[in-house]
């Protein structure tokens, strides 16, 4: 299977995002972990495929003939989504797991303004686990931690409770990670693209 | 606990939650965890799912959110409701409404065609379909051009063939959730014409031979559920594999097929990624056909009366009649069965002006549709877009505003509704819609069009993608409204 | 500047792939390795957050020599000279424990030293304390003692039967892979355990059997399968022998009788048996069943019988030798498989080559010296025979027997009475405190090598940081001692001069037929490889016994239920004590007690007790309680739970504070494998009385008498 990607013909099997990354093109993909299935929630990987805006992470390359990552529309919409994403974060630090800086660096690369919308975010902090802590003020509800816990480790200690604007990352029905069935495996921390889930104390 | 043959235990999750909720009036953590263990759903997953249904409460006490804050009620004088538990009671024809759901009153069937004619007796249509055999029956559905009445108007025969073509045991799911304010047609059919629907379902079962047949029905729509359950119970041998009637916990987003399937599987009701499409891999991985109540009821007509009622030399009007739910500022709110392709003004004329005030606008297609001004009432109600700014025939919900109505408030209410109904999975819809509401409420519309473009183009499912419609159309036709 | 070093987790036998991030010679983060075929991008808390022990302040920095009763810092030369001299004096009365935590290369060199230089086969490792009955039984019945299948088989199976193990705590990533099969494919799970483990949440059938009754359980299952006509007659006829004799033993019992002995419902026993014998078709794959077990089967006086009973069931149903089926003893330590493969067992040379016929010849030829032909002593016997004088000097590498041996007070007395004890490890643990010389070894993060995991996969370990203090890799230390002794023994010092682990591995591969096709070059390029891998082009083997067994036919071994345990409850000690593990600690805790976060999460010894028994003893949640056995006592915090059967208590065998389960356990042994009966002993529980009594807390003396 081949497709025309930003003007060049490339071979592609999996998703459009796979093809884009394989070609060495940078494209935001805040909810797609290379080790986990696509979620399709962050909507930052938008590209134009045959004139339509699609999410590259979940659009099969076989269904596209021509893909452009840098059209005006695609860039504008990506930027808009990133601006909405940044407005969820009162904390934008990169202290955390290996990917903690991903959201901030992606947003600045795409030229998203940090102040387009007033920040509105939850402020819960859960530091009951000695291994990691959770800071809601940095969480962008991308769902990677949930997929890591539920679909990789099959533990299901963490989830996205509630709906709409009330959606929150919680340790299931428990009040704290300590009281939950969390096994402290840290897969969620490794997957988090912000500093919302951060390891504690480094190697001290 | 009964386990539906061949389905994982987790299929019982939603019914058990609903049962516990009905019993206790709310769901405690313990209740959810107990049920989760019973049906083997990992805990966080169960909690995610349970807390995502708007009709479930997680604290004891508290009212039901007061009166309905839906658009039909608002234009008839009800205060817009801010309560998270405010919900449409789907009796928009009586607006303003308070209290729970009730049986659908016969007199609200204002104009009956074939579908709303007095209910059938016997199972002649089913007999005709069965004697024909699956292949010929499918051809007949194809020739009649029956399309999905849930709002997408996808040809039923194509959907069915795609599912059958997978060559695996399949699932038939009837979406009777009907979560769009201003629409009450499925409830009407289930309450008042249940045999019509049940015969259609039996025909579908005889053609598709599904391994499992499910009716997903709104949890609050108890009268509709009882009515259809009674008929099914009496139909006996007609459903050799049985029919599962699953009561849900509400949510407009359940109109999206994959969200509905997630709900049925005991998962968080949020859209799945496509592909795979439900016809390839739907309920528990089975090829799955999801159809609307009205679509299914039409099969009964087809196999009793032949293709003729569905054919029309005018392709836009082909496919038979459509049920229109008309509410808001009209003299005779209720259900009107008219051919597809009927001009909007004909429908409005039938409903009549209320208290002598002239019609000013119609919200066609509900919160996912768009507003049309009087100058556009000549448009014919055909599948698809009625106007590029958003208005659609959709599932046939028409909310009417007249010169006494506050259009600005109406637009705001649809925006609020969409923001409230967002499942919360994707960023543009979850984060963007509340910003849209803010911007409308505060009246600063700078950057609003760009934001609407982002929400519409970037959102994962139809809810977010179509949410800009009412606002965009209102800004188009009444540019002075938000300036 | 951080750098990333791919390696293998040092904790359990799952053998997860890790990527160590290092900044300034400290480990700052441990990531998973998505491409690793054993762990597929998963890790557990110990692998991810548990490696801070590497830089712990307790790490031994220099060699220590006992002078005037005190262990005092010494130079390497001083220490090694002393060790070489004293070892030489003790030839003939010498024994050695190898470490199942160290690399294959470390293990290989140690057994080479013990055999070639010390002239004895007295070398063993901790498998004695965990799976020796499994290994014995598998050797007898199949001719090989390894896990027959791979983790991928759990995911391809239709039914998994977990017996006497708690993978959620001890093999977390295997548990994840099983949960994945259950959640996504609908694989059925049968749990057999006296304790309700976490995996029971997903079990189709949970048999909460009495400890020590496994023979009845499996004979009962066999009887149920027989009665239902589900015996795999084709497999039995073509692939096995000894069937008739075994069948006679099974016919002696009924399902009902067996269920009665085990304390489970006959109907459940029957259902489980039929599910295992005839697993459901879930998808296009041929349905198979996996039998997975742990120390609940083996750590009994009838451990070998239990293992036989279980293997008979696999033969009877033909549930092995195909994808999605097989038998797996879950190996505990990260390299317990490799330590055995490398020859650290008293009766075989590397590759489980027994001392018969032509086997020693290639070794003697390559090594330029003669090898002892008398089988050596097993670990438990080495300790017991200190008393008789057969063993007077010991070299203990990476083991802490004074935490892992049963009946610790007794074991401590014996070890204390040795003439010369050398301990080589990371920390000054209980055993090291009694040593004459302590040698500081490198941790996994400071050296190169290989580990072999529970599915026979050989994987690379890579040096990520410089050695802490003056510590050195085990193989280097052993080589240094050996070279000092070569001269006296007429050996060529070049036998112990290696350019590095790659060269050692090459020698091991050359001498071990099932590793012959492996090399560092291949492991680096292709990732882990599963043995057998007999030649360089061979892809490795994911499951065994597809065509035949190493011994030819599979052999049924009739077994009958013996006494459930040597020590059973009586009026004075009315409760059964069951021991096991917990997620947040590793083994005896020597390492995990030095990970602060793990201690913060799990710092007190949890004593699980049934609410009825607690009520009878007036105990409420979190009370400090004391457990007494005939041999000692420990204290911990009460956890009231109906996950244990009424009449039994459970504690993990980690040492927390002054309490360790093995102060209580019985040094009764299984006759064949010499495994101690860790799983069952009789105890009494009391709520801790105020202060006065606390002074008598148990412990181990800090100095040698
Ligand atoms: S905690 Fe991290 S991984 Fe989880 S949803 Fe929030 S930002 Fe995403
Ligand atoms: S650390 Fe806990 S919440 Fe995170 S993935 Fe592991 S079990 Fe789930
Ligand atoms: S499962 Fe075992 S090998 Fe894997 S990370 Fe945990 S302790 Fe290490
Ligand atoms: S990466 Fe595609 S939607 Fe998030």
CATH code for the domain in which residue B48 is found = 1.10.10.1590
Instruction: With residue B411 as reference, give the H or E element that holds it.
Output: helix B407-421
Query: What are the two backbone dihedrals, phi and then psi, of residue C314, each rounded to the nearest 5 degrees?
Result: -65, -40
Query: What are the two backbone dihedrals, phi and then psi, of residue C27, each rounded to the nearest 5 degrees?
Result: -80, 120
pLDDT tens track for C123-134: 988 766 667 788
Lowest mean pLDDT among A132-141, B69-78, B161-170, B393-402: B69-78
**Same-domain check for residues B348 and B454:** no
Nearest residue of chain B to residue C184 (CA atoms): B284
Q: Which of B418, B431, B451 to mutate to test the interface with A (most CBs of A within 10 A)?
A: B431
Does the beta carbon of A172 lie inside 6 Å of ligand 2? no
C458 SS3 class: strand
Residue nearest to atom 8 of ligand 1 (CA): A142
The whole-angstrom separation of Cα A86 and Cα A116 is 9
Determine, yes or no, domain membership for B330. Answer: yes
Instruction: With residue B436 as reference, give the H or E element that holds it.
Output: helix B427-442
Domain with CATH 3.10.20.740 in chain A: 2-75
CB burial string C381-399: b at 16+ within 10 A, e below: bbbbbbeeebbbbbbbbbb
In CATH, what class is A125-199? alpha beta
CA B466 distance to own-chain centroid: 15
State how far residue B48 is from chain A, nearest Cα, in angstroms. Answer: 4
Q: Are C329 and C293 in contact (CB under 8 A)?
A: yes
Are B424 and A160 a contacting pair at CB < 8 A?
A: yes
Please report, to the nearest 10 degrees, the dihedral formed by the alpha carbons of residues C224, C227, C230, C235 taken in order. Answer: 100
Q: Which residues of A touch B273 (CB under 8 A)?
A: 38-40, 58
Mean pLDDT in chain C?
86
The whole-angstrom separation of Cα C488 and Cα C492 is 10
Residues of C with a Cβ under 8 Å from any A Cβ are: 21, 26-29, 31-32, 34, 41-45, 48-49, 51-52, 55, 168, 172, 176, 179-180, 182-183, 198, 583-584, 596-598, 600-601
Distance C521 CA to ligand 3 centre (A): 25
Which chains contact B through at least 3 pairs of Cβ atoms less than 8 Å apart?
A, C
The reported pLDDT for the residue numbered B62 is 60
pLDDT bin (cut points 50, 70, 90) of residue C673 is low
Which residues are A157's β-sheet partners? none
Where are the strands (E) in C186-338, listed by range?
Answer: 188-192, 205-207, 240-241, 289-293, 326-329
The residue segments making up the domain with residue B394 are 323-404
Would you report the helix, strand and coil content of chain C in percent, each value rounded to 5?
Answer: 35, 20, 45
User: What percentage of chain C carries pLDDT values higher than 90?
Assistant: 44
CB burial string B298-316: b at 16+ within 10 A, e below: bbbbbbbeebebbebeeee
pLDDT tens track for B315-335: 777 778 999 999 999 999 999
Closest ligand 3 atom to the C-alpha of C45? Answer: 6
Q: Does B316 touch chain A (CB under 8 A)?
A: no
Q: Are B21 and B56 in contact (CB under 8 A)?
A: yes
The whole-angstrom separation of Cα C108 and Cα C349 is 10
Does the structure show a pLDDT above 90 at C650? no
Which residues are C241's β-sheet partners? C555
Cα C359-C361-C364 angle, rounded to 5 deg: 125
Q: What are the Cα distances from residue B243, in Å, to B17, B164, B200?
A: 19, 19, 13
pLDDT tens track for A130-174: 899 999 999 999 999 999 999 999 999 999 999 999 999 999 999
The whole-angstrom separation of Cα B216 and Cα B178 is 10
pLDDT bin (cut points 50, 70, 90) of residue B338 is very high
The A residues from 5 to 34 touching B (CB cutoff 8 Å) are none
The reported pLDDT for the residue numbered C629 is 80
Q: Which residues of B touch A84 (CB under 8 A)?
A: 427-428, 431-432, 435, 454
Residues of C with a Cβ under 8 Å from any B Cβ are: 183, 186, 201-202
pLDDT tens track for B41-96: 888 999 999 999 988 999 887 655 556 767 887 787 777 666 555 667 777 777 77
Determine, yes or no, domain membership for B318. Answer: no
Q: Which two tokens stand for residue C202?
A: 């997903």
Distance C177 CA to ligand 2 centre (A): 15
Does the structure show a pLDDT above 70 at B99? no
Nearest residue of chain C to residue B168 (CA atoms): C283
**Same-domain check for residues B8 and B70:** yes
Does the structure show a pLDDT above 90 at A2? no
Does the structure show a pLDDT above 50 at C692? no
Distance B7 CA to ligand 3 centre (A): 34
The reported pLDDT for the residue numbered B19 is 93
Determine, yes or no, domain membership for B103. Answer: no
Task: Return the DSSP state at B307.
Answer: S
pLDDT tens track for A87-126: 999 988 888 888 898 999 999 999 998 889 988 888 899 9
pLDDT bin (cut points 50, 70, 90) of residue C409 is confident
Are A162 and B422 a contacting pair at CB < 8 A?
A: no
In the CATH scheme, what architecture does the domain A2-75 have? Roll (3.10)
For residue C532, whether the previous peptide bond is cis, meaning omega lies within 30 degrees of 0, is yes
H-helix segments, B25-133: 29-38, 43-50, 71-75, 124-132
Q: Which residues of C touch A183 (CB under 8 A)?
A: 44-45, 168, 172, 583
Please report, to the nearest 10 degrees, the dihedral formed by the alpha carbons of residues C383, C385, C386, C387 taken in order. Answer: 120
**Same-domain check for residues B76 and B134:** no
- Sign for the pseudo-dihedral over CA of C689, C694, C696, C700: positive
B237: domain CATH number is: 3.40.50.11540
Q: Are C115 and C478 in contact (CB under 8 A)?
A: no
The reported pLDDT for the residue numbered C444 is 93
> How large is the ipTM?
0.94
**Same-domain check for residues B392 and B413:** no
The whole-angstrom separation of Cα A136 and Cα B181 is 34
Burial (CB count <10 Å: 0-12, 13-18, 19+), residue A68:
middle
Task: Return the DSSP state at C220.
Answer: H
pLDDT tens track for A164-203: 999 999 999 999 999 899 999 999 999 999 999 999 864 3
Instruction: With residue B335 as reference, give the H or E element that holds it.
Output: strand B334-339
Does the structure show a pLDDT above 80 at C186? yes
Burial (CB count <10 Å: 0-12, 13-18, 19+), residue C211:
buried
Closest ligand 3 atom to the C-alpha of C15? Answer: 3
Closest CB to A185 among C21, C45, C183? C45
pLDDT tens track for C220-267: 999 999 999 999 999 999 999 999 999 998 898 899 988 988 889 999
Does the beta carbon of A194 lie inside 6 Å of ligand 1? yes
Block residue for tokens 């080495």: C382
Q: Which residue has the higher pLDDT, C678 or B141?
A: B141
State how far residue A6 is from chain C, nearest Cα, in angstroms. Answer: 30
Q: Does A180 touch chain C (CB under 8 A)?
A: no
Cα A155-A156-A157 angle, rounded to 5 deg: 100
Closest CB to A154 among C44, C179, C600? C179
Which residues are B291's β-sheet partners? B174
Does the beta carbon of A182 lie inside 6 Å of ligand 2? yes
**Same-domain check for residues B213 and B291:** yes
Q: Which of B425, B448, B451, B456 to mutate to test the interface with A (most CBs of A within 10 A)?
A: B425
CB atoms within 10 A of CB B25: 12
pLDDT bin (cut points 50, 70, 90) of residue B261 is very high
Distance C29 CA to ligand 3 centre (A): 15
Q: Ligand 2, from A151, A158, A177: best to mutate by most atoms within 8 Å of Cβ?
A: A158
pLDDT tens track for C515-551: 999 999 999 999 999 989 999 999 999 898 988 888 8
Q: Are B208 and B248 in contact (CB under 8 A)?
A: no
Q: Does A7 touch chain C (CB under 8 A)?
A: no
Nearest residue of chain B to residue A40 (CA atoms): B273
Does the structure show a pLDDT above 80 at B184? yes
**Same-domain check for residues B178 and B248:** yes
Q: Ligand 4, from A16, A39, A60: best to mutate by most atoms within 8 Å of Cβ?
A: A39
Q: Does A167 touch chain B (CB under 8 A)?
A: yes
Domains and CATH numbers, chain C: 3-55 (2.20.25.90), 64-128+336-530 (3.40.50.740), 132-330 (3.40.228.10), 575-696 (2.40.40.20)
Determine, yes or no, domain membership for B317. Answer: no
Over residues B146-167, mean pLDDT? 92
Closest ligand 2 atom to the C-alpha of A148? Answer: 5
The reported pLDDT for the residue numbered C690 is 54
Q: Which of B5, B40, B46, B168 to mutate to test the interface with C (most CBs of C within 10 A)?
A: B40
Q: Got the DSSP string for B160-202?
A: HHHHHTT-S--EEEEEE----TT--HHHHHHHH-HHHHHHHHH
Q: Which residue has the higher pLDDT, C629 or C325?
A: C325
Closest ligand 2 atom to the C-alpha of A153? Answer: 5
B455: domain CATH number is: 1.20.1440.230
Q: Which residue has the higher pLDDT, C622 or C565?
A: C622
Does the beta carbon of C529 lie inside 6 Å of ligand 3? no
Burial (CB count <10 Å: 0-12, 13-18, 19+), residue B118:
exposed
The A residues from 72 to 111 touching B (CB cutoff 8 Å) are 73, 76-77, 80-81, 84-85, 87-88
Cα B116-B120-B121 angle, rounded to 5 deg: 165
Query: What are the two backbone dihedrals, phi and then psi, of residue B200, each rounded to the nearest 5 degrees?
Result: -60, -40
Does the structure show a pLDDT above 60 at C36? yes
Domain with CATH 3.30.70.20 in chain A: 125-199
The reported pLDDT for the residue numbered C315 is 94
**Same-domain check for residues B301 and B350:** no
Query: What are the two backbone dihedrals, phi and then psi, of residue B336, each rounded to the nearest 5 degrees?
Result: -125, 125
Does the beta carbon of A46 lie inside 6 Å of ligand 1? no
Q: Which residues of A touch B33 (CB under 8 A)?
A: 173
Mean pLDDT in chain B?
90
Determine, yes or no, domain membership for B196. Answer: yes
Determine, yes or no, domain membership for B253. Answer: yes
Q: Are A103 and A54 in contact (CB under 8 A)?
A: no
Closest to B189 (Cα-Cα) out of B179, B181, B178: B178
Query: How many domains would you assign to chain B?
Result: 4
The whole-angstrom separation of Cα B273 and Cα B277 is 8
Q: Which two tokens stand for residue C235?
A: 């497999």
**Same-domain check for residues B50 and B166:** no
Closest CB to A150 among B44, B447, B454? B44
Closest CB to C31 among A98, A129, A184? A98
Does the structure show a pLDDT above 90 at C358? no
Count of alpha carbons within 13 angstroms of residue A161, beta-carbon side: 19
Closest to B299 (Cα-Cα) out of B163, B162, B132, B179: B132
The whole-angstrom separation of Cα C382 and Cα A174 is 50
């Amino acid at each position: 299977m081949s497709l025309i990607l930003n003007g060049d013909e490339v071979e592609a099997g999996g998703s459009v995002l796979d093809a884009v990354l394989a070609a060495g093109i940078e494209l935001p993909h805040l909810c797609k972990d290379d080790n986990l299935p696509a979620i399709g929630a962050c909507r930052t990987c938008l590209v134009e495929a045959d004139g339509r805006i699609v999410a590259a992470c979940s659009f099969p390359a076989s269904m596209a003939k021509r893909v452009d990552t840098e059209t005006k529309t695609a860039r504008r919409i990506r930027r808009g989504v990133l601006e909405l994403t940044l407005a969820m974060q009162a904390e934008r630090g990169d202290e955390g797991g290996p990917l903690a800086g991903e959201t901030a660096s992606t947003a600045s690369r795409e030229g998203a303004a940090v102040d387009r919308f007033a920040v509105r975010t939850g402020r819960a902090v859960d530091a009951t686990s000695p291994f990691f802590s959770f800071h809601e003020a940095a969480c962008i509800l991308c769902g990677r931690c949930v997929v890591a816990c539920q679909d990789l480790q099959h533990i299901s200690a963490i989830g996205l409770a509630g709906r709409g604007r009330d959606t929150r990352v919680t340790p299931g029905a428990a009040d704290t990670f300590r009281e939950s069935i969390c096994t402290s495996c840290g897969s969620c921390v490794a997957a988090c693209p912000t500093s919302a889930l951060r390891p504690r104390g480094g190697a001290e | 606990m009964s386990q539906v043959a061949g389905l994982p235990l987790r299929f019982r999750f939603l019914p058990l939650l609903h049962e516990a909720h009905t019993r206790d009036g709310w769901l405690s953590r313990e209740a959810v965890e107990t049920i989760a263990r019973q049906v083997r759903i990992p805990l966080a997953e169960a909690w995610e799912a349970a807390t995502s249904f708007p009709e479930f409460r997680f604290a004891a006490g508290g009212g039901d959110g007061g009166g309905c804050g839906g658009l039909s009620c608002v234009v008839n004088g009800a205060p817009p409701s801010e309560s998270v538990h405010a919900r449409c009671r789907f009796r928009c024809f009586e607006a303003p409404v308070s209290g729970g759901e009730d049986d659908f009153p016969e007199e609200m069937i204002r104009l009956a065609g074939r579908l709303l004619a007095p209910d059938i007796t016997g199972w002649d249509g089913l007999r005709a379909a069965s004697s024909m055999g699956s292949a010929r029956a499918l051809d007949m559905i194809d020739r009649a051009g029956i399309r999905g009445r849930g709002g997408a108007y996808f040809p039923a025969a194509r959907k069915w063939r795609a599912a059958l073509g997978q060559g695996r045991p399949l699932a038939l799911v009837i979406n009777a959730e009907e979560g769009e304010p201003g629409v009450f047609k499925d409830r009407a059919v289930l309450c008042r014409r249940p045999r019509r629907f049940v015969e259609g379902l039996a025909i579908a079962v005889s053609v598709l031979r599904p391994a499992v047949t499910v009716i997903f029905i709104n949890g609050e729509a108890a009268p509709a559920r009882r009515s259809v359950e009674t008929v099914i119970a009496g139909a006996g041998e007609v459903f050799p594999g049985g029919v599962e009637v699953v009561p849900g916990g509400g949510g407009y987003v359940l109109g999206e097929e994959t969200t509905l399937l997630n709900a049925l599987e005991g998962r968080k009701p949020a859209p799945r990624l496509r592909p795979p499409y439900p016809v390839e891999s739907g309920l528990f991985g089975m090829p799955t056909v999801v159809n609307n109540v009205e679509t299914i009821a039409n099969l009964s007509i087809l196999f009793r009366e032949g293709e003729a009622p569905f054919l029309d030399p005018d392709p836009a009007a082909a496919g038979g009649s459509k049920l229109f739910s008309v509410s808001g500022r009209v003299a005779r709110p209720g259900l009107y069965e008219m051919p597809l392709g009927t001009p909007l003004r004909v429908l409005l004329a039938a409903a009549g002006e209320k208290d002598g005030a002239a019609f000013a606008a119609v919200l066609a297609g509900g919160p996912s549709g768009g507003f049309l001004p009087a100058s556009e009432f000549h448009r014919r109600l055909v599948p698809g877009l009625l106007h590029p700014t958003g208005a659609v025939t959709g599932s046939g919900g028409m909310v009417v505003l007249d010169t006494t109505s506050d259009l600005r408030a109406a637009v705001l209410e649809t925006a609020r509704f969409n923001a409230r109904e967002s499942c919360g999975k994707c960023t543009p819809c979850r984060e963007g819609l509340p910003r849209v509401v803010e911007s409308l409420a505060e009246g600063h519309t700078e950057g609003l069009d760009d934001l609407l473009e982002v929400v519409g183009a970037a959102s994962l499912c139809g809810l977010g993608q179509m949410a800009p419609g009412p606002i965009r159309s209102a800004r188009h036709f009444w540019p002075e409204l938000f300036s | 500047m951080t750098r990333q070093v791919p390696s293998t987790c040092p904790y359990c036998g799952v053998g997860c792939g890790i990527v160590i991030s290092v900044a300034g010679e400290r480990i700052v983060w441990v990531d998973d390795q998505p491409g690793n075929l054993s762990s597929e991008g998963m890790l557990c808390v110990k692998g991810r957050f548990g490696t801070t022990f590497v830089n712990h302040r307790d790490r031994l920095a220099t060699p220590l020599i006992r002078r005037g009763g005190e262990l005092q810092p010494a130079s390497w030369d001083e220490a090694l000279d002393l060790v070489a001299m004293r070892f030489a004096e003790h030839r003939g009365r010498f024994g050695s424990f190898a470490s199942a935590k160290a690399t294959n290369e470390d293990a290989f060199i140690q057994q080479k030293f013990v055999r070639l230089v010390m002239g004895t086969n007295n070398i063993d490792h901790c498998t004695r304390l965990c799976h020796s009955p499994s290994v014995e039984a598998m050797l007898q019945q199949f001719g090989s003692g390894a896990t027959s299948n791979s983790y991928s088989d759990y995911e391809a199976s239709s039914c998994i039967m977990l017996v006497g193990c708690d993978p959620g705590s001890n093999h977390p990533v295997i548990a994840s892979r099983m949960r994945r099969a259950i959640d996504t494919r609908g694989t059925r799970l049968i749990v057999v355990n006296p304790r309700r483990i976490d995996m029971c949440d997903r079990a189709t059938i949970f048999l909460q059997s009495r400890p020590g009754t496994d023979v009845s359980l499996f004979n009962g299952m066999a009887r149920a399968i027989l009665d239902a006509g589900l015996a795999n007659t084709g497999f039995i006829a073509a692939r096995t022998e000894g069937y008739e004799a075994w069948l006679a033993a099974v016919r002696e019992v009924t399902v009902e009788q067996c269920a009665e002995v085990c304390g489970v419902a006959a109907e459940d026993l029957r259902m489980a048996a039929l599910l295992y014998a005839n697993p459901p078709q879930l998808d296009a794959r041929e349905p198979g069943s996996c039998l997975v077990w742990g120390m609940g089967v083996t750590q009994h006086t009838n451990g070998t019988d239990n293992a036989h009973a279980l293997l008979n069931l696999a033969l009877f149903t033909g549930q092995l030798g195909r994808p999605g089926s097989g038998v797996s003893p879950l190996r505990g330590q990260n390299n317990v498989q490799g330590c055995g493969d490398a020859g650290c067992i008293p009766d075989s040379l590397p590759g489980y080559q027994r001392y018969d016929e032509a086997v020693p010849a290639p070794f003697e030829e390559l090594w330029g010296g003669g090898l002892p032909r008398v089988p050596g002593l097993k670990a438990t016997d080495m300790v017991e025979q200190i008393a008789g004088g057969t063993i007077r000097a010991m070299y203990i590498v990476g083991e802490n027997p004074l935490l892992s041996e049963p009946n610790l007070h007794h074991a401590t007395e014996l070890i204390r009475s040795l003439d010369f004890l050398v301990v080589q490890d990371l920390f000054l643990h209980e055993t090291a405190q009694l040593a004459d010389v302590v040698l500081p070894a490198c941790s996994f993060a400071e050296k190169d090598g290989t580990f072999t995991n529970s599915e026979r996969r050989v994987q690379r370990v890579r040096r990520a940081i410089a050695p802490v203090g003056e510590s050195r890799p085990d193989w280097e230390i052993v080589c240094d001692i050996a070279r000092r002794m070569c001269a006296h023994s007429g050996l060529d010092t070049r036998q112990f001069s290696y350019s590095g682990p790659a060269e050692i591995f090459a020698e091991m591969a050359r001498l071990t037929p099932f590793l012959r096709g492996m090399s560092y070059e291949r492991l680096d390029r292709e990732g882990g490889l599963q043995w057998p891998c007999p030649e360089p082009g061979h892809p490795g083997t994911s499951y065994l016994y597809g065509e035949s067994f190493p011994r030819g036919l599979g052999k049924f071994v009739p077994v009958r239920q013996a006494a459930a345990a040597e020590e059973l409850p009586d009026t004075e000690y009315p409760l059964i004590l069951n021991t096991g593990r917990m997620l947040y600690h590793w083994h005896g805790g020597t390492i995990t007690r030095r990970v602060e976060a793990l201690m913060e999460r799990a710092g007190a010894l949890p004593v699980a007790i049934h609410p009825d028994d607690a009520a009878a003893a007036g105990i409420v949640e979190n009370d400090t309680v004391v457990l007494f056995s005939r041999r000692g006592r420990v204290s911990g915090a009460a956890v009231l739970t109906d996950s244990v059967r009424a009449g039994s208590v459970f504690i993990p065998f980690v040492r927390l504070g002054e309490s360790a389960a093995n102060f209580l356990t019985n040094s009764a042994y299984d006759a064949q494998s010499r495994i101690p009966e860790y799983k069952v002993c009789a105890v009494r529980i009391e709520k801790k009385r105020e202060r006065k009594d606390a002074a008598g807390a148990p412990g181990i003396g800090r100095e040698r008498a």
